């Protein structure tokens, strides 16, 4: 690949435009458009035409930037010159395309060897940059896998999420953690594989409880040889790889042989393993006979919104399904949205051998080539018309329709609750983003603060945040904890939203403002634009409206759990951070801590209560309970980690081997703490320097 700089060299000869007509791709996720101002549209066309003159007739990826340096759109092209020139012709554009062109102030290009490379790069950049006018997958949750390690004599079976750096086999994706845990549970019963970590395995001196209940074969203490254990791991690998029939036949033969030799206990163990494997295959909503490994994509459109339902089939088993709700422009067809979803979905995960689709894609062959290149093997894309495959797609499409209908109904109900909340607190309009804060601790220890966020789509869990309370805050000071949490939150928010305005006030250049990272720009706030004349900024043009589809990063309403003291502490901190314009409410528990009797505190109002059957009161209670659940869950996790912490881990130079040697020699950490230096130095596997470090750590006072 070859990157092309934004500045165009003057010595590049101008090339004639091709006569071939280029069809422009519609922007994929534009905000609800108004018409672009003629002057802005003309300026955008001139910028694009200036770049188009010097582009080659080669495949590549182009990026469009607005005047603040934010990426508007990422696209790929078989010919960069033809595609970009089409934007500059100024005709046959949809309203959304016209708005995007009008906002374009700069472009960047990367040439590639083939169109397939361009498609792969495009999907990677879309997921990384999240441009405003592209189809965006809003589900940022990674999918779980089953991991069978390959870097240990006794392979471990475990649930895995994230990057796959460790050597071994990864089976999936599964649609949910529940599906992974259920499958691992059955596989442990069938193949007796260990699920413990390597460090736990190395420190065992006798079999654990899993061995006693016949869920592990006990390789850690030599209850089974590594050769026999590896055979079990190979059988599990074969089963997960699709060779389940051969594995079940082998177990069946061994069960019959054991029964013929009158080894009935051994035969019963094989019987139980067969039953566990049958449970994995039988406990599915849909099973297939002719489709061994496939992902099924089906899309549905209602009220200008899209839902893509994905079913995962491996080893002729249904490994679950997931509904995705991409953000896309209403002018796009379902097939166009589906094409973008498929390419982005496999950007960070390997595709199966077969991908079934509900719609014919215009670039199906190109997408198949890209998936083949990513997987390193053949990948087939198909839109079935008959048979079992068509039935699978029809079932997925039905689920997509039902999921989208539920989401639309939930969104309407959630919006009505937000409307009721705004009316209950006398807000000018319904809040789009509500933040609720709560703290959790035990006598000041392991103190944490939690922030939950709610909006039109319900609880926005990807926006939740936790705050570790610093040691400087007095233990048990709830007011101090709330002050610290809110100060950190709104100081950061003020810093992010004020970078561009501060530069403008100081007379910064347009380049300085354009260099502000896009993440610091608030999508719902007026963004200062660099002035065309340079040397300052100008406000967003009046004809441009903010993106109402984007979830704001600045809250419209803040709720804190507590009474008047918590309210006053929160009010002062928010005023110090320049957030006094945000509505603030404190909710105090009712008499005898009874629900329906809560008292509310707001600026400029006397403390008040809401009617017992007010829908807004029920909604507020849900918000408070979710904040409490999140805060106490985070506190418990922190406390659990602290309990598990070994004091030896705090000593520099003490790794797993030396820690194991010390524990084997002394038995417990308390014995190590009481040990004299001479005793530590006589520990096998511990040198004098390590012994001195351990002794100094526990006797430094």
Is residue 434 predicted with pLDDT exceeding 60? Answer: yes
pLDDT digits (tens, 9 = 90+) for 191-221: 888 888 888 888 888 888 888 888 888 899 8
Q: Is 585 helix (H, G, I), strand (E, B) or coil?
A: strand
Least confident range from 73-77, 381-385, 403-407, 653-657: namely 653-657
Tokens of 255: 């069960």
* Adjacent-strand bridge partners of 311: 296, 321
Give the C-alpha separation, 263 to 514, whole Å: 78
pTM above 0.85, yes or no: no
Least confident range from 30-39, 475-484, 613-622: namely 30-39
- Mean residue pLDDT of the chain comes to 77
Q: Please indicate whether the domains covering 294-407 and 434-545+552-640 agree at the CATH topology level.
A: yes
Select the CATH number that applies to the domain covering 647-698 from these four: 3.20.20.450, 3.40.50.300, 1.10.150.20, 2.40.110.10: 1.10.150.20
Give the C-alpha separation, 61 to 111, whole Å: 6
What confidence score (pLDDT) does residue 520 get?
36
Is residue 344 predicted with pLDDT exceeding 50? Answer: yes
Give the C-alpha separation, 101 to 682, whole Å: 76
Residue with tokens 């881990």: 649
The residue-averaged pLDDT of 372-383 equals 88
Q: Are 147 and 168 in contact (CB under 8 A)?
A: yes
pLDDT digits (tens, 9 = 90+) for 142-175: 778 889 888 888 899 888 887 777 888 888 777 7
Rounded (10°) angle between helices 38-52 and 95-103: 70
Positive or negative torsion for Cα 496, 500, 502, 503: positive
CATH of domain 434-545+552-640: 3.30.420.340
Give the C-alpha separation, 323 to 399, whole Å: 8
Going by pLDDT thresholds of 50, 70 and 90, the confidence category of residue 287 is low
Residue that wins the pLDDT comparison between 642 and 352: 352
Give the C-alpha separation, 328 to 311, whole Å: 21
Q: Are 546 and 523 in contact (CB under 8 A)?
A: yes
Give the C-alpha separation, 127 to 131, whole Å: 9
How do the domains of the chain map onto residue ranges? 2-129, 145-282, 294-407, 434-545+552-640, 647-698
Least confident range from 33-37, 256-260, 594-598, 610-614: namely 33-37
pLDDT digits (tens, 9 = 90+) for 107-122: 989 888 888 888 888 8
CATH topology of domain 294-407: Nucleotidyltransferase; domain 5 (3.30.420)
What confidence score (pLDDT) does residue 116 get?
87
Residue that wins the pLDDT comparison between 182 and 561: 561
Select the CATH number that applies to the domain covering 2-129 from these four: 3.40.1440.10, 1.20.950.20, 3.20.190.10, 3.40.50.970: 3.40.1440.10
φ and ψ at 239, to 5 degrees? -65, -45
Closest CA to 73 of 52, 46, 100: 100
- SS3 string, 169-236, reads EEECCCCCHHHHHHHHHHHHHHHCCECCCHHHHHCCCCCCHHHHCCCCCCHHHCCCCHHHHHHHHHHH
The residue-averaged pLDDT of 343-351 equals 84
């Amino acid at each position: 690949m070859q990157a092309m700089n934004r500045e165009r060299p003057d010595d590049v000869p101008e090339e004639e435009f091709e006569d071939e007509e280029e069809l422009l791709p519609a922007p994929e996720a534009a905000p609800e458009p108004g018409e672009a101002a003629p002057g802005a549209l003309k300026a955008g066309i001139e910028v694009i035409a200036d770049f188009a003159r010097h582009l080659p007739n080669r495949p590549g990826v182009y990026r469009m930037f607005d005047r603040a340096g934010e990426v508007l759109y990422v696209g790929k092209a078989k010919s960069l010159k033809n595609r970009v020139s089409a934007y500059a012709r100024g005709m046959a554009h949809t309203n959304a395309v016209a708005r995007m062109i009008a906002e374009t102030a700069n472009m960047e290009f990367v040439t590639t060897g083939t169109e397939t490379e361009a498609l792969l790069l495009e999907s990677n950049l879309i997921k990384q940059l999240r441009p405003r006018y592209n189809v965006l997958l809003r589900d940022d949750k990674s999918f779980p896998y089953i991991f069978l390690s390959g870097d240990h004599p006794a392979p471990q079976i475990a649930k895995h999420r994230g990057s796959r750096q460790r050597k071994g086999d990864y089976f999936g994706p599964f649609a949910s953690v529940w599906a992974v845990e259920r499958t691992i549970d059955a596989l442990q019963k069938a193949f007796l594989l260990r699920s413990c970590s390597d460090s736990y395995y190395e420190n065992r001196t006798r079999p654990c409880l899993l061995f006693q209940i016949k869920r592990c074969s006990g390789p850690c203490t030599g209850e089974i040889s590594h050769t026999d254990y590896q055979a079990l791991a190979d059988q599990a690998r074969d089963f997960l790889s699709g060779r389940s029939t051969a594995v079940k036949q082998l177990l069946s033969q061994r069960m019959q042989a054991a029964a013929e030799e009158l080894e009935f206990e051994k035969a019963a163990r094989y019987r139980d393993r067969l039953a566990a494997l049958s449970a994995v295959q039988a406990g599915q909503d849909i099973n297939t006979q002719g489709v061994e490994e496939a992902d099924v994509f089906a899309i549905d459109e209602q009220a200008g919104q899209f839902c893509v339902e994905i079913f995962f089939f491996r080893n002729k088993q249904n490994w679950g399904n997931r509904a995705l709700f991409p953000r896309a422009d209403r002018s796009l067809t379902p097939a166009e949205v589906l094409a973008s979803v498929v390419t982005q979905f496999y950007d960070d995960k390997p595709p199966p051998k077969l991908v079934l689709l509900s719609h014919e894609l215009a670039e199906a062959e190109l997408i198949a080539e890209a998936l083949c290149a990513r997987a390193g093997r053949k990948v087939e894309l198909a839109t079935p018309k008959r048979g079992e495959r068509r039935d699978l797609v029809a079932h997925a499409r039905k689920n997509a329709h039902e999921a989208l209908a539920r989401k639309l109904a939930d969104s309407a109900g959630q919006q009505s609750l937000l409307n009721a909340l705004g009316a209950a607190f006398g807000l000018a309009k319904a809040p789009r983003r509500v933040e609720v804060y709560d703290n959790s601790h035990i006598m000041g220890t392991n103190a944490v603060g939690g922030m939950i966020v709610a909006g039109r789509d319900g609880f926005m869990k990807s926006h939740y945040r936790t705050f570790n309370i610093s040691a400087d805050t007095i233990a048990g000071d709830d007011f101090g904890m709330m002050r610290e949490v809110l100060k950190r939150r709104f100081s950061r928010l003020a810093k992010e939203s004020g970078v561009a305005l501060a530069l403008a006030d100081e007379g910064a250049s347009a380049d300085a403002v354009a260099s502000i990272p896009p993440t610091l720009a608030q999508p719902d706030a007026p963004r200062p634009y660099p002035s065309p004349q340079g040397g300052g900024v100008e406000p967003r043009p009046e004809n441009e409206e903010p993106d109402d589809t984007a979830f704001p990063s600045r809250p419209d309403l803040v709720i804190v759990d507590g009474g008047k003291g918590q309210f006053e502490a929160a009010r002062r901190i928010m005023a110090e951070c320049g957030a006094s314009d945000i509505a603030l409410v404190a909710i105090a528990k009712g008499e005898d801590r009874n629900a329906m009797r809560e008292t509310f505190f707001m600026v400029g109002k006397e403390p008040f209560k809401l009617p017992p059957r007010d829908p807004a009161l029920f909604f507020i209670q849900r918000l408070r309970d979710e904040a409490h659940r999140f805060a106490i869950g985070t506190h418990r996790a922190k406390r659990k980690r602290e309990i598990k912490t070994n004091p030896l881990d705090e000593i520099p130079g003490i790794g797993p081997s030396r820690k194991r040697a010390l524990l084997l020699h002394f038995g417990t950490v308390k014995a190590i703490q009481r040990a004299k230096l001479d005793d530590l130095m006589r520990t096998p596997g511990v040198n004098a320097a390590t012994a001195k470090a351990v002794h100094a750590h526990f006797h430094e006072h």
